[in-house]
Amino acid sequence: MLPDRVLIVEVGPRDGLQNESTPVATEVKLQFVRRLVDAGLSQIEVTSFVNPKRVPQLADAPELIAKLPNAADVTFSALVPNEKGLDRAIESGVKRIAVFTAASETFTQKNIGMSIDESMTSFASIVKRATGAGLSVRGYVSTCFVCPYEGEIEKERVRDVTARLLDTGVDEVAISDTIGAAAPTDVRETVGFVLENIPAEKIALHFHDTYGTALANVVAGLELGVATFDASAGGLGGCPFAPGAAGNLATEDLVYLLDRMNIRTGLAGQSDVDLAKVVDAASIIANALNRPLPSAQWRRMHGSCAGDGA
Amino acid sequence: MLPDRVLIVEVGPRDGLQNESTPVATEVKLQFVRRLVDAGLSQIEVTSFVNPKRVPQLADAPELIAKLPNAADVTFSALVPNEKGLDRAIESGVKRIAVFTAASETFTQKNIGMSIDESMTSFASIVKRATGAGLSVRGYVSTCFVCPYEGEIEKERVRDVTARLLDTGVDEVAISDTIGAAAPTDVRETVGFVLENIPAEKIALHFHDTYGTALANVVAGLELGVATFDASAGGLGGCPFAPGAAGNLATEDLVYLLDRMNIRTGLAGQSDVDLAKVVDAASIIANALNRPLPSAQWRRMHGSCAGDGA
């Protein structure tokens, strides 16, 4: 039994841009976000309050948030790594934040310089303060299937970290395939296991499309009853000059799949997400980076695929 | 219950090259085929006996077949459109041929200049003569989900054409999503319906990846018990200069999925298909065409994706 309706969490402005070394002007990002809103996306992760020295691309987070369009039905969110980031987020006026840890101890250490236990202690305090300030909070768990350092990740670790994050007070956990290695069998095993204890309404799935399996994984998630999926317009999110890196599942490819499966993508009573307008939004970034994008829709519309010709 | 083992029918040398306007030398094609054999592929559709004036790229079919490597466990096949093509195929010494019709009347008319009924009459005679000459025969049914001219295709038509083709004596029918429009729900509905009357062993699935859904569709097929899938090394098969065209499901992406799902891809008692060697084989054609390829593996190994940068 598939869900009738899916919520697409658009992460392109944050996850899609954070690894881009070419600076993208705030006004261009705003144009991107405005078009995403116009396309009917109702949850958009727009930026991150990580240390601007670590991610200069997103150093304009406060300015960006100040200039976001007025859109009553749209929730904008920002990533928050620590207390200092939360100070900046609260000051910016953003209404939703996201915290992030991982199911792999090594990845957590390398990514945020803490153990998983330490990250939980840190986030418990951040989530409490954020919700006290009227913000809602989502949590990410990275490397839920395969870790680039540790290899295969046990499903028990994913369940435990997910449960602990929910205990801190986040309203949703995005189980993430950070390197895009999972197949539908992995989704069934790991996410199916998590869902034995945790309601599907609390779970989002976040896939990268490194090996082309992201849509197949979405279908496995739908079949488990999950109805929230992260995606990035254009399939932004890889580092195009680093072999091995690949982008998020492309929003337009997800929209094609869901449309074809007769699953609604708009909020109740509103139109579905408009595929062509998502591609139109992504083209803002393609132009800014002077580079084509990896989504199937983009390839279909603009000719075949690339990289170098070797 | 998923199959333990899948047969991958490699169609790159035929379906992948037939639309390429840049001539590829016979020796280059042979190098491609030799590497595909070396990668462990055991069924390879190498060329077509269509009118050489219509498809000049494959005009070298007799020469190519004469020079194919000796490979005891590998079956090479060629497409045959009519009696004249069969004459040429028999003369060439190829041991397996493929005939093709469609589930859409308009597509059949435009593609092969016959009605579906006429194509069945023609193929009944061809299949009889081919099997009499010791050749085995596969059948393709194009446009089984969506036709570019007629739109949605009813499952009853797919079942009927498939059954009629099997009645002519073909040993397998490849149910084909010619324009790559299907989603897993389509596969379940149409292929599931066909399988109510026809054993899964008689069915292959042939997907194009126009919208990125091909691997998701493979999983739907596997869940229905189908264990034969067509694919094309590198994702060859689209026309890169024609927006809207897209290649076959890439063999290496299929191999990644099946490996990860713990499904064997080699013949019983032999090694699985070697993903890296498939990419290596595809690179022969990428070099010959001086163009990157659309598979996820290729993008991962050679950088991000492309088309123009608009």
Q: What would the pLDDT profile of A78-102 be if each residue is shown by its tens digit?
A: 999 999 999 999 999 999 999 999 9
Q: Do A181 and B260 touch (CB under 8 A)?
A: yes
Domains and CATH numbers, chain A: 7-302 (3.20.20.70)
End-to-end CA distance of chain A: 45
User: What does the pLDDT average to over B188-210?
Assistant: 97
Instruction: Note the pLDDT tens digit of each residue in A23-78.
Output: 999 999 999 999 999 999 999 999 999 999 989 999 999 999 999 999 999 999 99
Distance, in Å, from the CA atom of B152 to the CA atom of A70, rounded to the nearest integer, reads 40
* The total number of residues written for chain A in this structure: 310
pLDDT of residue A265 exceeding 50: yes
pLDDT of residue B300 exceeding 90: no
Active site residues of A: 239
Distance, in Å, from the CA atom of A177 to the CA atom of B3, rounded to the nearest integer, reads 25
Q: In percent, how much of chain A has pLDDT > 70?
A: 95
pLDDT of residue B291 exceeding 90: no
Q: Do A298 and B310 touch (CB under 8 A)?
A: no
Check residue A303 and give its pLDDT.
Answer: 60
Q: How confident is the model at residue B242 (pLDDT cuts 50, 70, 90)?
A: very low
Q: What pTM did the predictor assign? A: 0.95
User: What does the pLDDT average to over A8-33?
Assistant: 95
Q: How confident is the model at residue B303 (pLDDT cuts 50, 70, 90)?
A: low
What is the overall mean pLDDT for chain A? Answer: 93
- The residues in A 256-285 lying below 8 A from B, measured between CB atoms, are 256-257, 260-262, 283
A108-112, B15-19, B95-99: which is most confident? B95-99
Check residue A302 and give its pLDDT.
Answer: 78
Nearby residues of A196 by Cβ (< 8 Å), 6 or more positions away: none
Residue in A2, A300, A305 closest to B292 by CB: A305
Q: Do B260 and A213 touch (CB under 8 A)?
A: yes
Instruction: Note the pLDDT tens digit of each residue in A194-214.
Output: 999 999 999 999 999 999 999
pLDDT of residue A20 exceeding 70: yes
Instruction: Note the pLDDT tens digit of each residue in B129-150.
Output: 999 999 999 999 999 999 999 9
Paired strand residues for A136 = A96
Q: Which residues of B touch A241 (CB under 8 A)?
A: 303-304
Full DSSP string of A174-217 = EEEETT----HHHIIIIIHHHTTTS-GGGEEEEEB-TTS-HHHH
Check residue B68 and give its pLDDT.
Answer: 98
Tell which phi-psi region holds residue A307, choosing left (phi > 0), alpha (psi between -120 and 50) or beta: left
Q: Which residues of A touch B294 (CB under 8 A)?
A: 299, 304-305
10 Å CB burial of residue A197 (0-12, 13-18, 19+) is: exposed
How many angstroms separate the CA of residue B250 from the nearest CA in chain A?
Answer: 10
Q: Does A185 touch chain B (CB under 8 A)?
A: yes
Q: In percent, how much of chain B has pLDDT > 70?
A: 95
Distances (CA, A) of B222 to A12, B41, B257: 32, 19, 12
Paired strand residues for B99 = B139
pLDDT of residue B201 exceeding 70: yes
- Could you give the 3-state DSSP secondary structure of residue A286? helix
Q: How confident is the model at residue A243 (pLDDT cuts 50, 70, 90)?
A: very low
Q: Does B133 touch chain A (CB under 8 A)?
A: no
b/e sequence A138-176, b meaning 16+ C-beta within 10 Å:
bbbbbbbbbbeebeebebebbbbbbebbbebbbebbbbb
A122 secondary structure, DSSP code: H
pLDDT of residue B22 exceeding 50: yes
Low-confidence winner among A103-112, B95-104, B192-201, B252-261 (lowest mean pLDDT): A103-112
Nearest residue in chain A measured CA to CA from B179: A300
Helix (H), strand (E), coil (C) string for chain B: CCCCECEEEECHHHHHCCCCCCCCCHHHHHHHHHHHHHCCCCEEEEEECCCCCCCHHHCCHHHHHHCCCCCCCCEEEEECCCHHHHHHHHHHCCCEEEEEEECCHHHHHHHHCCCHHHHHHHHHHHHHHHHHCCCEEEEEEECCCEECCCEECCHHHHHHHHHHHHHHCCCEEEEEECCCCCCHHHHHHHHHHHCCCCCHHHEEEEEECCCCCHHHHHHHHHHCCCCEEEEEHHHCCCCCCCCCCCCECEHHHHHHHHHHCCCECCCCCCCCCCHHHHHHHHHHHHHHHCCCCCCHHHHHHHCCCCCCCC
Instruction: Note the pLDDT tens digit of each residue in A122-155.
Output: 999 999 999 999 999 999 999 999 999 999 999 9
Instruction: Note the pLDDT tens digit of each residue in A138-147.
Output: 999 999 999 9
10 Å CB burial of residue B97 (0-12, 13-18, 19+) is: buried
Are A303 and B240 spatial neighbours (Cβ–Cβ below 8 Å)? yes
How many angstroms separate the CA of residue A124 from the nearest CA in chain B?
Answer: 36
Q: How confident is the model at residue B294 (pLDDT cuts 50, 70, 90)?
A: confident
Q: Which residues of B touch A290 (CB under 8 A)?
A: 309
Instruction: Note the pLDDT tens digit of each residue in B3-13.
Output: 999 999 999 99
pLDDT of residue A223 exceeding 80: yes
> Could you give the ipTM of this predicted complex?
0.93
Check residue B19 and give its pLDDT.
Answer: 86
What is the overall mean pLDDT for chain B? Answer: 93
- Could you give the 3-state DSSP secondary structure of residue A10? strand
Are A158 and A125 spatial neighbours (Cβ–Cβ below 8 Å)? no
Paired strand residues for B264 = B5
Check residue A292 and give its pLDDT.
Answer: 86
pLDDT of residue B310 exceeding 60: no
Full DSSP string of A235-278 = G--S-TTSTT---BPBHHHHHHHHHHTT-B-SPTTSPPP-HHHH
